Amino acid sequence: MDDPYAPARDALDGDGLAGTGDGDARDSVDSDPAVLAARLDDADPLSAFADRYHVPEGVLYMDGNSLGPASDAALASLDRVVEEWRERLIGGWTDADPPWFSVGERLGDALAPLVGADPAEVVVGNSITVNLHTLIGTFLDELLAGNGPERAGSAAADGRWDPAVDPAVLVNELDFPSDHYAVRAQLRQRGIDPDEKLRVVESRDGRTIDPRDIEAALDAHDDVGIVWMPTALYRSGQLFDVARIAAAAHEAGAYAGFDAAHSAGAVPHEFGAAGVDFAVWCTYKYLNAGPGSVGALFVAERHHGLTPALAGWWGHEKATQFEMNTTYTPADSAGAWQIGTPPLLAAAPLEGSIELLRQAGIRRVRRKSLALTDYLIALVDDRLPEISVGTPREHAARGGHVALEHPDAERLSAALRDRGVVVDFRPPNVVRVCPAAPYTSFADVLEVVDEIEAILDSGAHEAYATNEGGVT
């Protein structure tokens, strides 16, 4: 068949698991979820990649949207840098192969195709929250200096901003909390009251954000200078229409920035074509670069040459960086938003993990991810009436994980982990299940649903306490 994942899509879009056959004798066979999973796995062009990732035996790992597993390629690139440190010492900055000195730009070049950017527009460095601070601060400074975004064909975005007007930042109520902390801090540091100027788009259903409400907020408030949205919501997995939001922001005379932490590496983006001004993301989720791995950022070429709000020596132009001038000259690229010396051991695994993802192909990864989540949702619909799916069913609005809603989600998550199914809980009622495409099979998804069904049928989750805290 042309599309090896079509049966999974048909299971969700058609008549459920009973309607995944081809109208012949296979109908009754394909209605068996195990047979369907085996059929999908046999036809899966990415199935061999699972052997490249390290998941402990007996574990069903469905939490790659929080922390991706180690791969042989990531460990090899880490081992190489450790060996270079052992053998070359400080010489590694110039004599390693490749030299450490250019690690931020080099890995940025490798990441750029995943987000639809030119190489000079992406750099690796800092952490995601530090990158958020410096980029929000940079563009607030531009607005306070009287500079707004320019976009051909949009009369409102004429590049001018009234410096007498304190700019507001538009966010949404379902954001990851750290984003609000950082935006509020950057407003406060400029003497702007965040209670007045942090404009929050509310959710209609507690799960998703309607893009019409973002546009309505821009119509209602003429002081919004930055629209800051996620590419995907961390709890429900809703995928945003980046191009639509960026166009609405520019039409209103605002910059468009995005937090891509919950989609980079699972969803191909086109930041350049969409007109995005700036973006940040981490590399330890779908990019599988390890706990606390280095952050990444995108700044559109039209903004290169700006002075970052948080300037540091590693963002200095490379040609004169070691002249140690006391006057800061920012690099004429996204590299200007680097701050301190890059953490080599936190960046090294990313090299291998990007290469593995490049071999798989981000668009093939996305196709399989959608098929896996199609299959998961179809199974839940068919077998778990106690559970609601809080993730949009439309492909264009779905990221890489599925939010399963249940009143006892916290206890259900704990019971699953004790049975070797690693998921996470997000208050108040969500079990996040992430069947990441590079290392998850359709049989794995079926086994997860089997475990959930067994727990709920037996009431085993009721033996677990709640509100124990901890990291999930």
What is the residue type of 431? V
Statement: residue 235 has pLDDT above 60:
yes
* Active-site position among 235, 398, 411, 432: 432
* Active-site position among 9, 285, 368, 411: 285
In this predicted structure, what is the pLDDT of residue 247?
A: 96
Read off the pTM: 0.95
Is 285 catalytic? The answer is: yes
Is 259 catalytic? The answer is: yes
In this predicted structure, what is the pLDDT of residue 348?
A: 98
Is 212 catalytic? The answer is: no
In this predicted structure, what is the pLDDT of residue 2?
A: 80
Statement: residue 24 has pLDDT above 70:
no
E strand or H helix that includes residue 273: helix 271-274
Residue whose structure tokens are 């953490």: 343
pLDDT grade, residue 466 (50/70/90)? confident
In this predicted structure, what is the pLDDT of residue 362?
A: 98
In this predicted structure, what is the pLDDT of residue 86?
A: 98
* Active-site position among 44, 63, 175, 259: 259
Statement: residue 208 has pLDDT above 60:
yes
Q: Are 386 and 456 in contact (CB under 8 A)?
A: yes
For the residues 285-299, what does the mean pLDDT come to?
Answer: 98
* Active-site position among 88, 95, 141, 176: 176
In this predicted structure, what is the pLDDT of residue 347?
A: 98
Statement: residue 20 has pLDDT above 60:
no
- The Cα–Cα gap between 87 and 71 comes to 24
Is 3 catalytic? The answer is: no
Residue whose structure tokens are 């200007």: 336
Share of residues in the chain with pLDDT > 70 (%): 95
* Contacts for 368 with CB less than 8 Å, ≥ 6 apart: 5, 44, 46, 437
Is 176 catalytic? The answer is: yes
* Contacts for 21 with CB less than 8 Å, ≥ 6 apart: 27, 28, 29, 30, 31
Q: What is the pLDDT of residues 293-337, one digit of tens each?
A: 999 999 999 999 999 999 999 999 989 988 888 999 999 999 999
In this predicted structure, what is the pLDDT of residue 75?
A: 98
In this predicted structure, what is the pLDDT of residue 56?
A: 96
Q: What is the CB neighbour count within 10 angstroms for residue 226?
A: 25
E strand or H helix that includes residue 224: strand 224-230
User: To the nearest whole number, what is the mean pLDDT of the chain?
Assistant: 94
Q: What is the pLDDT of residues 59-77, one digit of tens each?
A: 999 999 999 999 999 999 9
E strand or H helix that includes residue 367: helix 362-383
Q: Are 173 and 201 in contact (CB under 8 A)?
A: yes
Q: Are 239 and 392 in contact (CB under 8 A)?
A: yes
Statement: residue 460 has pLDDT above 70:
yes
Q: What is the CB neighbour count within 10 angstroms for residue 51?
A: 10
* Active-site position among 278, 284, 425, 439: 284
Name the more confident of 8 and 15: 8
Q: Would you tell me the crossing angle of helices 72-88 and 344-360 to the nearest 10 degrees? A: 140
> Judging by beta carbons within 10 Å of its beta carbon (0-12, 13-18, 19+), is residue 41 exposed, middle or buried?
middle
pLDDT grade, residue 283 (50/70/90)? very high
For the residues 371-399, what does the mean pLDDT come to?
Answer: 98
pLDDT grade, residue 262 (50/70/90)? very high
Q: What is the pLDDT of residues 121-137, one digit of tens each?
A: 999 999 999 999 999 99
pLDDT grade, residue 29 (50/70/90)? very low
pLDDT grade, residue 30 (50/70/90)? low
Beta bridge partners of 54: 70
Q: What is the CB neighbour count within 10 angstroms for residue 287?
A: 26
For the residues 197-219, what does the mean pLDDT come to?
Answer: 98
pLDDT grade, residue 151 (50/70/90)? confident
Statement: residue 388 has pLDDT above 90:
yes
In this predicted structure, what is the pLDDT of residue 236?
A: 98
Statement: residue 472 has pLDDT above 90:
no
- The Cα–Cα gap between 305 and 85 comes to 33
- The Cα–Cα gap between 336 and 318 comes to 10
Kindly report which listed range (2-6, 32-36, 107-111, 411-415) carries the lowest average pLDDT score: 2-6
First-last CA distance in the chain = 39
